[in-house]
Structure 1
């Protein structure tokens, strides 16, 4: 048993999502969104380095010492998997660990709208799950892939950095590929994927032009592609994809994206006030013919209006999702106001006037 495993056990017992280990500081847990220090001594650089290197593969240590940054996956059987990030900082070595539960929760267990599970049945196209770091994108995506795994008879290929949720083949066969271990990059894996007879491709992160371009190409050639982006809402997701391309290509990209895109799910996590835990508010955009036309014509600013009128298709705006959680008394008015888009709708729920001068 590695020395650091005791901290992972504590992390699991406390229901923490993240563990921070930093030279020159005490260990820190993130519990329900808040940072809390562990009652433990301040970690010295060489002591922490030895602790971290104990669980790290040798080839990854070499990468870390050459570059100062590195990601990999670590698993404690019977407990959980961890996404590990090592980095150099002013006082020495640092690391952040994100816990990935061994059990994959279903869409129903997560309380996701019914339309989310239906995305797993799409024959082809591009589905994007977006949101800020730590908003639960991987958990939602894992639930959708799990639904496909239970209901379809297909080949699912996942490309991640590192592999997070591990799915066991059920009705589908599933292959997990890790960037840096099984393949050089997301783009390399996507190019190879088209020769590996996949029906569904899950791309852990669409972070550059080449990966986004290849993902759209795969969606246009008859595959169902799931991917994640670090964007705040559906409208900004569409804009981000188009704007990453050179100006002279953006007209063509708009047309391709309009044809390829099937849905955008954008989520924000909130701390619950009724019970311990967190809950996600989801903005859902379904690409109806009206939405496709707006993307093609460069009128993405009208997408929120279409979402307001498209509730029969399963669409909802982030503000509507936040309002529903607030009215069910699952989240605080202050959190609702801080994360909503149209602030005026939520001011009346606040006990005190807002203090954020940028919203005045």
Structure 2
């Protein structure tokens, strides 16, 4: 048992989602979204480096010492899997560990709208799950992939850095590839994927032009592609994909995207006030004929009205989803106001009006 495993046991006992271990500071846990210090001495750089190097693969240590940061997955039998990040900072080595639950939560477990099941049944196209770092994108995607794994008879290929949720083959065959370990890059894995007979491809992160271009190509040639982006809303997601490309290609990309894109799920995590835990608030855009037209014609701000009029299809805006949970008493008025897009809608729920800036 590695020395650092005791802190993972503490994470488990406290219900923490993240563990921060940084030279010059006490260990810190993130519990229900808030940082809480562990009653432990300040971590010495050499001692912490020794603990971290004990669990890191040799090739990852080499990359870390050359580049200053690395990502990899670490598993403690009986406790769980963790996404690890090592980085250099002013006082020495730093690290953050994110818990990856061993049990994959279902769409029902997560209180995700059932329309997300439809994304798992599509034969081809691109579905994007977006949101800020730590908003639960991977968990939502895992639930959708898990549903597909149960109801389809296909080949699912995941490309991640590192591998997070591990899906066991059920009705589908599932293969996991890790960037840096099984392939050089997301783009290299996507190029290879087109020769590996996949039906569903999960791209852990669409970071650059080449990866986005290859994902669009795969989605346009008969594959169902799921990917993630760090964007705040469905409309900003469409603009982000287009803006990655040079200006002289953007008109063509809008046309390609309008045909390939099938849906966008933009989400954020809120602390629950009725019980312990957090809940995902989802904005859902389904690409109808009207939505595709707006993407093609560069009128993405009007996608919000498509979501408002498409409620019967399962669409919803972020603000409507927040309002629903606020009225149920699940989330606080203050956090609702803070994370809403149209903040004026939430002022009447606040005990004190916000300062007028």
TM normalised by structure 1 equals: 0.99
Q: Specify the alignment match of 2:209 in structure 1.
A: 209
Query: Partner residue of 2:280?
Result: 280
Corresponding residue of 1:90: 90
2:117 & 2:14 partners in 1: Cα distance? 30
For residues 1-360 of structure 1, the aligned pairs below 5 Å read 1-355=1-355, 360=357
Separation (CA, whole Å) in 1 of partners of 2:116 and 2:80 = 25
Instruction: Output one character per residue of 1:241-273: Cα deviation in whole Å (capped at 9) or x when no partner.
Output: 000100000000000000000000000100000
Equivalent-residue separation in structure 1 for 2:286 and 2:47 (angstroms) = 51
Residue 76 of structure 1, CA deviation: 1.1
Alpha-carbon RMSD across the aligned residues, in angstroms, is 0.6
Deviations 1:324-351 (A, max 9, x none): 0000000000000000011111000000
SS in 2 for 1:96: strand
1:78–1:102: 8 Å Cα contact kept in structure 2? no
- Secondary structure of 1:30's counterpart equals strand
SS in 2 for 1:103: coil
* 1:54 match: secondary structure: helix
Equivalent residues, number? 357
- Whole-Å Cα distance in 2 between the matches of residues 166 and 94 of structure 1? 26
Q: 1:353: Cα distance to partner? A: 1.4
What are structure 1's unaligned runs of at least 5 residues?
A: none
Judge conservation of contact 1:23–1:44 (CA < 8 Å) in 2.
yes
State how far apart, in whole Å, the 1-side matches of 2:147 and 2:321 are. 23
Return 5+ residue gaps in structure 2 as ranges. Answer: none
| C-alpha deviation, 1:354, in angstroms | 1.0
Task: Tell me if the contact between 1:201 and 1:225 (Cα under 8 Å) persists in the aligned partners.
Answer: yes
**Structure 1 stretches of 4+ moved >6 Å:** none
What CA distance in whole angstroms lies between the structure 1 residues aligned with 2:65 and 2:174?
A: 33
Note the C-alpha offset of 1:12: 1.1
After TM superposition, give the deviation of residue 78 of structure 1 in Å: 2.0
Distance 2:213 2:28 in 1: 39
| Distance in 1 (alpha carbons) for counterparts of 2:254 and 2:164 | 32
Residues 11-69 of structure 1 deviation map (CA, whole Å, 9 limit, x = unaligned): 01111110000000000000000000000011000000000000000000000000001
Question: How big is each residue's C-alpha offset from its partner over 1:71-130, in whole Å with a ceiling of 9 and x where there is no partner?
Answer: 000011221100000000000000000000000010011111010112100110000000
Distance in 1 (CA, whole Å) between partners of 2:135 and 2:297 is 31
Give the match's secondary structure for 1:29: strand
| Matched position secondary structure for 2:115 | helix
The superposition leaves residues 196-217 of structure 1 with CA deviations (integer Å, 9 ceiling, x where unpaired) of 0000000000010000000000
- Give the drift of 1:169: 0.2
